[in-house]
Amino acid sequence: MRALLAGGAGYVGAHTAVALLEAGHEVVLLDDLSNASAAVAERIGRITGKDVSLVSGDATDEGAIAAVFDEHGPFDAIVHLAAFKAVGESTQKPLDYYDNNLNTTFALLRVGMARGIRSFLFSSTGTVYSDPADLPFTEESKTSVDLSNAYSKSKRMNEVVLEDVARVNPDLDVTVLRYFNPVGAHPSGLIGEDPKGVPNNLMPYVQRVAIGELDRVGVFGTDYDTPDGTGLRDYIHVVDLAEGHVAALEKGEPGYTVYNLGTGEPVSVLQLIASFEKAIGRELPKDLLERRAGDVTATYCDPSKAERELGWKAKLTIDDASRDAWKWQSQNPQGFAGV
C-alpha cells in the first residue's frame, strides 16, 4: 500500500510513518511545517532504513495536494492527521480552527477521491464524547457538536462529513480513529513530541520541567473522586497508536467505521508524574493547584472493538511511555530545533 500522510511530519504522523514503513508499506509526507520540522523525514529514514519523501505544502490547498499526487502518486490511501490541535487556543480562535480543520478534510477528500484512493483514515479524538459520566466510552457512546471548544467540535463535524461521504461512495473505506491521550516517543529517541512554545499536554510539560526549561509541574485539582484525588486519563503510547493506524489501513473494508484507540486503563495525573520521576531517577517540583474550568474527573475508553475487528491492542505501559519520552527529551533537549 502507498499512503499519503497529511500532517505526516507531526508527532503522531512521524510515528505512523515509521509503523507503516516497518510493515512494508510506502509513505509520502505532506506537511506545512507550522508545528513540525523538516528534520523528521531524515530521522524516520534513520529508524527504518528507507528514504522518505516530505513535501512542504498546505493540506487545505487542492492544487498542492494534486501536485503531490502528480509527483509521488498514485496513492491507495490518505491518512489525514493535519489539524490545529490546541484546545485552549481553539476557544480563542474558533474561525481559524474551523477553517483549517474542515477545509483540510474537504481538499484531501476531493483530490483523493478524484484520483481513485481506496481508503481515507481520519485522526479524530475521544473528546467528541459528550457525556463525561458514560465511562468507559464505547464507539456507541453519546457524541455531540455541542462541545466546549472549537477543536473538539471541528473533529466531530469532520466525522459527520465523512459518514455522509462514505454513505454515497460505498466502495470507499472511511475509518475514523478516536485517539485518547498520546504520550511517549519512539524507543530510538530519534523522534518524539516537540510542541512549539509552552506545551498544552501533561507529559511534554513534565519533560520540559525535567530538563529545566520550565520551573514546576502544575497539578490542577487534587480533590477529584479518584484514588489519589487527581484526574484520570487514558494515556496511550504513541507507538501503540501508530500501530493502530496500520491495522486500520490493512483492514481495507469499504464503509464507515469508528474505532477508539486507547488502553482502557486510566492513569492519574500524579501517577503519570511518578512514572516519569522513576524514569529520570529524581523528583520534580510540583504545585498543587485548584481545578481548571472544564476539566472532568475521568476520561477513558473501551478499546475492545479495535481488538475484536482489527486485531489491535495497546501493549505498552505508562512506564514505557515515560522511559521513551525521557530518552527523546534528554537526547534532544531543544527538540528538532537542535538538529
By annotation, the residues acting in catalysis are 151
Separation in Å, CA 124 to CA 23, 51, 154: 23, 28, 9
Question: 214: which DSSP letter?
Answer: S
Angle between helix 94-114 and 150-168 (nearest 10): 20
242, amino acid identity: A
Are the C-beta atoms of residues 179 and 124 closer than 8 Å to each other? yes
Q: How many residues does the chain have?
A: 339
Cα pseudo-dihedral 286, 290, 263, 119, rounded to 10: -110
Residues 14, 21, 106, 240: is their CA dihedral positive or negative? negative
Are the C-beta atoms of residues 276 and 217 closer than 8 Å to each other? no
